[in-house]
Amino acid sequence: MSSYHYRNHRLPDNERSTFRNGLAQRMVVSPGVELYRVITPLDQFGNGNHIFGKYWFTHKALTQLRSLMQVNGCTFEEAARAKLAVNEVWNPKMSHLCKIRMQRLAFVWKGGARYQHKANTQKKVAYIGDAEQIYIPHISIAKANDQGDRPLSELATLIYNRPLEEVIRNGGW
């Protein structure tokens, strides 16, 4: 097996449309790089977001979101929803922050998030997007965890999945 995961040179059209102007830079992420994701944890009915989803953001974007939150007096959820352009259909609560550390070299696509409408029924309101997002194909859970509490991926290790309130209160970004 190659040392690079997922060498496909073409970003699928449905994923390309999530980047500003459809532009994303293909790049390699090295082991040790830490990335973030805001999720709504899965409930007993399977509603919510998987920890190892395909879209992540960088520490640079995290710093920008925290600054936006402080300057504008908004919540982290509001800042993240606006700049990452995540509507409520995809991620209803955005209540938990996940942090991963890449374990293998992986091809990814990086670019500004494209604007998205607030909800399917409210076309006149949009989240502006533009925060730097990372699309990681094939990061999903590789196998079930015997303990049931630490999802696994071949590409990355979960450092934490914590409620946003706890992360903000304890400063454990």
- The C-alpha atoms of residue 75 and residue 167 are separated, in whole angstroms, by 13
Reported as a pLDDT band with limits 50, 70 and 90, residue 120 is low
The pLDDT value given to residue 2: 38
Residue 58 lies in a domain: yes
Residue range 137-155: mean pLDDT, rounded: 66
pLDDT of 143 over the 60 cut:
no
Q: Give the total number of structural domains in the chain.
A: 1
Q: Tell me, yes or no, whether 5 lies in a domain.
A: no
Phi/psi of residue 52, each to 5°?
-90, 60
The boundaries of the domain holding residue 103 are 13-170
Under 8 Å between Cβ of 3 and 105: yes
Determine, yes or no, domain membership for 159.
yes
Contact of 110 with 132, CB cutoff 8 Å: yes
Does residue 130 belong to any structural domain of this protein?
A: yes
Q: Where are the beta strands (DSSP E) in the chain?
A: 25-29, 34-39, 55-57, 96-102, 106-112, 116-119, 122-127, 132-135, 156-163
**pLDDT per position as a tens digit, 23-54:** 999 999 999 999 999 999 998 888 899 899 99
Q: How far apart are CA 161 and CA 173, in angstroms?
A: 11
Would 4 be classed as within a structural domain? Answer: no
Q: Per residue in 79-96, pLDDT tens?
A: 999 999 998 989 999 999
Q: State the burial class of residue 117 (Cβ atoms within 10 Å of its Cβ: 0-12, 13-18, 19+).
A: middle
Residue 144 lies in a domain: yes
Whether 31 maps to a domain, the answer reads yes
Does a structural domain hold residue 82? yes
| Average of per-residue pLDDT values in the chain | 87
Model pLDDT, residue 121: 60
The pLDDT assigned to 138 comes to 85
Q: How confident is the model at residue 154 (pLDDT cuts 50, 70, 90)?
A: confident
